[in-house]
Amino acid sequence: MKILAVCRGAPETLPGRKTKTGINKHAVSGAVMIDEQGLLGDAICNRKHHGGRDQAVYVEGSLTLDWWAGELGCALEPGAFGENLIIEGLDNRNVAVGDKFIAGDLVLEVTSARIPCSTFAAKRGDPHFVKRYTRAGRPGIYCRVLESGTVSADMQVSYMPYEGGRVTMPEMMATFGRRLSPEDRSRYLAAPIHYKLRALIESEAAA
């Protein structure tokens, strides 16, 4: 595996929207520093729902983007889904919480699946895209940064699957907003899931 593209965005206002967003990302040349807050110079405008330590880097697999290009009937430029990194040969459906991506000094740990929002739909210019994306079951991948590092396109990436019970990206999206069974709750909480999701599951268990 290798990094096919490193993408950053600047604050912009999408057509029909009032607030600024950093979802319009584009591939950059040269090396980019990534620390616990994400890519240096990448715009994160709504920090209530985006960014932060457990959503610092958004990853897309090239195989998933290829599938979407066929589904949408158009080429997808790097950053088309608002991703920070595109990893060659990766299918998002196979990724689980706790999996690690290592590129040079950078160590990323998967925390959660991307849940589509109205900003994403506005970027795609399709008010029905949230439902379409959810039905597809190929959500993007959010990661926390365990070790900071500088990355660039063409860097080799090592992939280390999580050794515990697997909570895959499609499963996370399919169960979003639903009450988990006791068995699934235990499996989710045993994995290094996003801290907000962990707090939600723990509160439901205590209720």
11-15, 46-50, 201-205: least confident range: 46-50
Percent of the chain predicted with pLDDT > 70? 97
- Nearest CA among 146, 155, 160, 38 for reference residue 100: 160
Tokens of 18: 């009032």
Provide the CA 172 distance to its chain's centre, in angstroms. 12
Give the pLDDT of residue 101.
98
Q: How many domains does the chain have?
A: 1
How many whole angstroms separate alpha carbon 16 and alpha carbon 13? 8
Q: How many CA atoms lie within 13 A of 56 on its CB side?
A: 22
Give the pLDDT of residue 206.
72
Return the CATH number at 184.
2.40.33.20
Place of tokens 């439902």: 131
Give the pLDDT of residue 63.
98
Q: How do residues 133-180 score in pLDDT, each as one tens digit?
A: 999 999 999 999 999 999 999 999 999 999 999 999 999 999 998 899
- The pLDDT-based confidence of 127 (bands split at 50, 70, 90) is confident
107-116, 126-135, 152-161: least confident range: 126-135
Helix (H, G, I), strand (E, B) or coil at 34: strand
Give the pLDDT of residue 45.
55
Give the pLDDT of residue 22.
75
- Using the predicted structure, report yes or no on whether residue 132 has a pLDDT greater than 80: yes
Q: How do residues 24-78 score in pLDDT, each as one tens digit?
A: 899 999 999 999 999 998 877 566 667 788 999 999 999 999 999 999 999 999 9
* Residue 57, domain extent: 3-206
